[in-house]
Amino acid sequence: AQTVTQSQPEMSVQEAETVTLSCTYDTSESDYYLFWYKQPPSRQMILVIRQEAYKQQNATENRFSVNFQKAAKSFSLKISDSQLGDAAMYFCAYRRISGANSKLTFGKGITLSVRP
């Protein structure tokens, strides 16, 4: 079975600074998808970024980028120029390649606070 590990329960960053959230996973499959979701206090789940394992290039979405290390099974999220609205819980998630109906496996999440 696949597992996703987020070992840091909390992190804090100064506004306008950069922060990196860690995630590791375990799988025996060679192809899969990885996601980062954001859950603000409203508890709405928001997709931040996604990475396809067969792509070597790290995904980027504006201020958000990932460092995907397939051999190390590591998938960290970097947030640049942190903003107050970035304060939220962030979940790393894994998904098998078996189609749109395959389920997500989530990590425990990390609570990010942004200091003004």
Partner 1 sequence: GAVVSQHPSWVICKSGTSVKIECRSLDFQATTMFWYRQFPKQSLMLMATSNEGSKATYEQGVEKDKFLINHASLTLSTLTVTSAHPEDSSFYICSASIPGGRSNQPQHFGDGTRLSIL
| Site residues (vs partner 1, CB under 8 A) | 32-33, 35, 42-45, 47, 50, 52, 89, 91, 95-104, 106-109, 111
C-beta of 11 vs 104, nearer to partner 1: 104
CB of 54 to partner 1, least distance (A): 10
- How far apart CA 99 and CA 113 sit, in angstroms, is 35
CB of 50 to partner 1, least distance (A): 6
Residues 2, 26: contact at Cβ < 8 Å? yes
CB of 36 to partner 1, least distance (A): 11
Residue type, 28: S
- How far apart CA 96 and CA 51 sit, in angstroms, is 12
C-beta of 16 vs 46, nearer to partner 1: 46
CB of 42 to partner 1, least distance (A): 8
C-beta of 84 vs 97, nearer to partner 1: 97
Burial of 100 (0-12, 13-18, 19+ CB in 10 A): exposed
C-beta of 6 vs 82, nearer to partner 1: 6
What is the torsion angle, in degrees rounded to the nearest 10, for the CA atoms of residue 13, residue 15, residue 18 and residue 23? 40
